[in-house]
Amino acid sequence: MSRFTHVGIVARVIDIPSELAAAQERCNGEAGRAFVTGLPDLAAEFLQRWELRLDGRPMHGMTALVLPVLRADGTPAVLKLQLRDEESEGEPAALRRWDGDGAVRLLDHDRTTHAMLLERLDHTRMLSQLPGTREAVLVIARLLARLNATPAPQGMRRLGDMARAMLERTPWALERIPDTGTRRLVADCAAAVREVVDEPGDRLVHWDLHDGNVLASDRAPWLAIDPKPLAGDPGFELWPAIANRFEADEVRWRFDAMTDVLGLDRARARAWTLGRLLENTLWDVEDGRPAEPRRLEIARRLRDHSG
């Protein structure tokens, strides 16, 4: 069978989830539409190149198509296809650096298309399924302690650059926030970031580790997936676990528990966590959206927390 016949046959059996197509349209416009249109042929190309067989229905997140596959020797794996952007650019390098210690293992990678072959974890057992949030927060903290233990490889986007860019945009954003209390809170977050911006850290930071990005595995109880990595301070890691499955009265407990497990200086960690509110608010203002009340409440509780 010729390559082009093989590609055509395989492409016809891959369903592109409508939610993924909608997310790409919303977030990436024309580039997202082109990415989604090309996904069947892209998948078919790597099924052939890496000698893979489909082994289940497609899965997806906000940005990626994930295909369960079997390798030539029968080993289960997943083929991950996503549109390369600033956040995902460093994912292969981070996974290679971690080499399965606390995170999913990278098996193969194509630099041109950003296609990745990953070990298959158990997508039916997600950390978010635990009935209580406290154990989930502690699991995430213990994973972060392993992931943050290594310095970031060369070429990773850097928290210091991101923080300085945020501070440069802050005056513009403050002028566009109508509510006085929100404006004061965002200004306080920026002031906290200014205190630490000259010491941004060099650890390999996952950036998006919440309980929806932690799956069970046969080789480890829990492993992290889907990093949006950068080089920086581990204090910048805490926000997702604090914000996910939001409970206002748990904000300070989560912050204290995670800084204890990670051994972080709380003042620095608080400053970098408030930096995540600044980052999110800048995105909201740029998109013409009001800041989310949930995010503002987290920032208020941490700003006023002296523990």
pLDDT in tens, 256-284: 999 999 999 999 999 999 999 999 999 99
Average pLDDT of the residues of the chain: 93
Q: Are 227 and 206 in contact (CB under 8 A)?
A: yes
Residue 171 has pLDDT above 50, yes or no: yes
How many CB atoms sit inside 10 A of residue 265's CB? Answer: 12
Predicted pLDDT of residue 164:
98
* Amino acid identity for residue 158 in this structure: R
Q: Give me the mean pLDDT over the 63-77 stretch.
A: 96
Q: Which residue has the tokens 């914000």?
A: 243
- 79: nearest Cα among 111, 44, 112: 44
Beta bridge partners of 80: 66, 116
Angle subtended by helix axes 159-174 and 266-286, to nearest 10: 60
Q: Are 93 and 79 in contact (CB under 8 A)?
A: no
Per-residue tokens: 118 = 């990953």
Q: Are 305 and 252 in contact (CB under 8 A)?
A: yes
pLDDT in tens, 10-69: 444 578 888 998 989 988 899 999 999 999 999 999 999 999 999 999 998 888 999 999
Residue 208 has pLDDT above 60, yes or no: yes
* Amino acid identity for residue 20 in this structure: L
Catalytic site includes residue 208: yes
pTM (two decimals): 0.93
Q: Give me the mean pLDDT over the 136-147 stretch.
A: 98
* Amino acid identity for residue 12 in this structure: R
Active-site residue among 108, 208, 256, 284? 208
Predicted pLDDT of residue 307:
67
Predicted pLDDT of residue 15:
80
Q: Give me the mean pLDDT over the 153-165 stretch.
A: 97
- 64: nearest Cα among 30, 96, 28, 108: 28
Angle subtended by helix axes 293-303 and 180-196, to nearest 10: 50
Question: SS3 for the chain, per residue?
Answer: CCHHHHHHHHHHCCCCCHHHHHHHHHHHHHHHHHHHHHHHHHHHHHHHHCCCEECCCCEECCCEEEEEEECCCCCEEEEEEECCCCCCCCHHHHHHHHCCCCECCEEEECCCCCCEEEECCEEEEEHHHCCCHHHHHHHHHHHHHHHCCCECCCCCCEHHHHHHHHHHHHHHHHCCCCCHHHHHHHHHHHHHHHHHCCCCCCEEECCCCCHHHEEECCCCCCEECCCCCEEECHHHHCHHHHHCCCCHHHHHHHHHHHHHHHCCCHHHHHHHHHHHHHHHHHHHHHCCCCCCHHHHHHHHHHHCCCC
pLDDT in tens, 94-127: 999 999 999 999 999 999 999 999 999 999 999 9
Distance of CA 260 to the CA centre of its chain: 23
